[in-house]
């Protein structure tokens, strides 16, 4: 390929400072080093995590930086030692990886790769501690190892899932983060039995993906719990059958759910990151067999406080990371599920903008409108 081994000049949306609109400008993207690939990003979407790090209220600010981590594209070139990917492959870059060699990757029980697990603080590539992006010689930092708000990006080969080229990239791009996180939390971790009752705490994109997981698993009742009643109508499309707004009840929500379900729900999936919702999720499951799964990321100082009797009464509390999916092994399988019609992704995609209008996607998310906004990189 003519560009292989050379610096590529392309457009990227650069975050120069916290909370300021991204600047779509020309950047230079260096060729991939050992165990890296350079990708041409065709579609990317905005996730709440991008907005969180762009606002930089809760962590060490890192600027200038190219955000973005939910995307789909095509391999442009590969670095030394990369054997499982080749130019032209259709791929999903993922914010966490699978080296296939560490104890976690070799274990069937873990997806938390020692080398490539998510690291929000890392702003450079592992190989040499350098950034692959620059503007006039100034380094532009990476984000979650993906930095997909650029027409070309460089990613560690272990963070790239090769998928069926038949899959529409403008749909399956949402699998690389939000959808798998929620859907997998239900189907891979909570594992509701057919006909069971599932409560979903938080009905944003991840919570609705968890509800979709409960629908696919054959749950008979899916109870959505959210402080915003405006979300209930949308949630019906994702399988939710009933709704509880805790603000409309004088009793704690775990008591409300226990009354609705004759002692508690069979499974609860918490997708808010609010510590109170996490505690409520555990306390709302049925004794003897109930399982609560935590997905949301809490405030760093938050502490989980509950009475141990819940555990002695055979309730189970679990946490999960990225829906318990190993990115390179499992994502191609999820893509096949979509192609067979077992999953519905279209209903998650509520908006679409051209790359030059990327700041509109931020405006929509800040206004709480829609679920996923697809950014078309070639426009």
Active site residue 186: no
- Residue of 65, 69, 142, 267 marked active site: 69
Active-site residue, selected from the candidate residues 117, 156, 231, 286: 117
**Catalytic, out of 11, 28, 48, 336:** 48
For the question of residue 104 being annotated catalytic, the response is no
Is 177 annotated in the active site? yes
5 conformational bin, left if phi > 0, alpha if psi -120 to 50, beta if neither: left
* Cβ atoms 185, 320 nearer than 8 A: yes
Q: Which of 102, 234, 316, 350 is the catalytic position?
A: 102
**CA gap 250, 193 in Å, rounded:** 31
233 given a catalytic annotation: no
Find the DSSP H helices in 185-231: 205-217
159 is catalytic: no
Q: Which of 90, 98, 104, 177 is catalytic?
A: 177
The partner residues of 198 in beta bridges, in order of sequence, read 222, 267
Q: Which of 38, 44, 65, 70 is catalytic?
A: 70
Q: 49 catalytic, yes or no?
A: yes
Catalytic residue, from 104, 142, 221, 372: name it.
Answer: 372
Can 286 be counted among the known catalytic residues?
no
Active site residue 215: no
69 among known catalytic residues: yes
Annotation says 271 is catalytic = no
| Given 104, 113, 212, 283, the catalytic residue | 113
Q: Up-side HSE of residue 328: CA atoms within 13 Å toward CB?
A: 18
CB distance 166 to 339 below 8 Å? yes
Catalytic residue selected from 38, 47, 153, 240: 47
To the query of whether residue 105 is one of the catalytic residues in this protein, the response is yes
Note if 180 is an active site residue. Answer: no
36, 90, 99, 186: the active-site residue: 99
Q: Residue 10: which residues within 8 A CB-CB, separation 6 or more? A: 26, 27, 29, 150, 151, 152
3-class secondary-structure state, position 9: strand
How far apart CA 204 and CA 272 sit, in angstroms, is 8
Which residues are known catalytic residues?
47-49, 69-70, 99, 102, 105, 113, 117, 177, 372
């Amino acid at each position: 390929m003519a560009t292989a081994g050379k610096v590529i000049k392309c457009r990227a949306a650069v975050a120069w400072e916290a909370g300021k609109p991204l600047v779509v400008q020309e950047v230079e993207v260096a060729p991939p080093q050992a165990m890296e690939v350079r990708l041409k990003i065709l579609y990317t979407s905005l996730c709440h995590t991008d907005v969180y790090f762009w606002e930089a209220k809760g962590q060490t600010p890192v600027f200038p930086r190219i955000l973005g981590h939910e995307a789909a594209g095509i391999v442009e070139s590969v670095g030394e030692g990369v054997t499982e990917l080749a130019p032209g492959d259709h791929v999903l870059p993922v914010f966490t990886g699978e080296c296939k060699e560490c104890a976690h990757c070799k274990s069937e029980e873990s997806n938390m790769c020692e080398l490539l697990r998510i690291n929000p603080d890392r702003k450079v590539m592992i190989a040499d501690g350098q950034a692959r992006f620059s503007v006039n010689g100034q380094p532009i930092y990476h984000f979650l190892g993906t930095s997909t708000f650029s027409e070309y990006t460089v990613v560690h080969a272990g963070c790239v899932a090769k998928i069926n080229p038949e899959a529409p990239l403008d749909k399956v791009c949402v699998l690389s983060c939000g959808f798998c996180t929620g859907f997998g939390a239900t189907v891979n971790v909570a594992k509701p039995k057919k006909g069971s009752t599932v409560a979903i705490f938080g009905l944003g994109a991840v919570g609705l993906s968890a509800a979709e997981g409960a629908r696919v698993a054959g749950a008979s009742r899916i109870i959505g719990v959210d402080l915003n009643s405006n979300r209930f109508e949308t949630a019906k499309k994702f399988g939710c059958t009933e709704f509880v707004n805790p603000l409309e009840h004088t009793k704690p929500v775990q008591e409300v759910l226990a009354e609705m379900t004759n002692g508690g729900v069979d499974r609860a999936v918490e997708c808010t990151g609010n510590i109170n919702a996490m505690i409520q999720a555990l306390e709302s499951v049925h004794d003897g067999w109930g399982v609560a799964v935590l997905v949301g990321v809490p405030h760093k100082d938050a502490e989980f406080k509950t009475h141990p009797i819940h555990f002695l009464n055979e309730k189970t509390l679990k946490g999960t990371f990225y829906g318990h999916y190993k990115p390179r092994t499992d994502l191609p399988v999820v893509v096949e599920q979509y192609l067979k019609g077992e999953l519905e992704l279209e209903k998650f995609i509520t908006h679409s903008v051209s790359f030059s209008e990327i700041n509109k996607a931020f405006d929509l998310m800040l206004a709480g409108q829609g679920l996923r906004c697809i950014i078309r990189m070639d426009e």
